[in-house]
Amino acid sequence: MTSSAAPDATPDGQPGTGLRIDAERNRDRILAAARRLYATEGLGVSMAAVAREAGVGKATLSRRFATREDLITAVFADRMDAYAEAVTTALANPDPWHGFTDYIYAVCAMQAADRGFADVLTMTFPAAKALEARRTESYNGFLELIARAKDTGHLRHDFTSQDLVILLMANAGVINATGDAAPDTWQRLVAYMLRSYATPAAPISPLPDAPAPAALYRAMIRLSRVRSDNL
């Protein structure tokens, strides 16, 4: 009696096209689900929640992404590329001070567009080598941007790269607190912080409008509910 290959296997015993397509489809579903959840809820979302959102089992998720860091790296690879490119664009600006301020706004806008990325920029993931390599690349470019902006006399001499980390932490907090209730509040925070970094001679853009009192009140109610839910 002769035996035939299984429908989903090739003659050499390797998985066939059907299994490969299913595996790729599951991977795409997992990534899409993780992007949705991370963007709206931040990185606190559990792997189990991602599996439920994707409509796959935990075992399937683990086969595609063995660790949380693996999933985060895959989800935010394109955003980390954009993060690295932002400093390259800033360094190409013929006006180093405007390159510096444009970079600050660009990075903070990336945070505002995605709560998960807001968290990524204020955390470290030692096991996620590719993600951390892009972060290091961006950091080194930012050091050069700082030096150039100081040479113009417009950036305070005591500004350090740690001040950007502090700003990103503060911005992430504002974004998470205000949510959809007052989504543009971060812009006023960033504008005020840029004023604190500037020397008296630096050209400063006008302050964005403050959020309406009613919008901030809604944000405060929202934040209270979120904290109550977490108790």
Name all domains of the chain by residue range, CATH numbers in brackets: 12-66 (1.10.10), 77-230 (1.10.357)
pLDDT at 112 over 70: yes
221 or 105: whose pLDDT is higher? 105
Contact indicator for 96, 145 with CB cutoff of 8 Å: yes
Distance between CA atoms of 63 and 186, rounded to whole angstroms? 38
Share of the chain above pLDDT 70, in %: 90
The pTM of this model reads 0.78
pLDDT at 2 over 70: no
Q: Looking at residue 196, what is its pLDDT?
A: 97
* Confidence label for 177 from pLDDT (cuts 50, 70 and 90): confident
Pinpoint the alpha helices (H) of the chain.
Answer: 17-41, 47-54, 58-64, 68-92, 96-113, 115-120, 129-151, 161-178, 185-197, 213-230
Q: What is the pLDDT of residues 36-74, one digit of tens each?
A: 999 888 888 999 999 999 999 999 999 899 888 889 989
Q: Looking at residue 19, what is its pLDDT?
A: 59
What rounded mean pLDDT belongs to the chain?
87
Residues 6+ apart with CB under 8 A from 111: 117, 118, 121, 168, 171, 172, 175, 186
pLDDT at 12 over 50: no
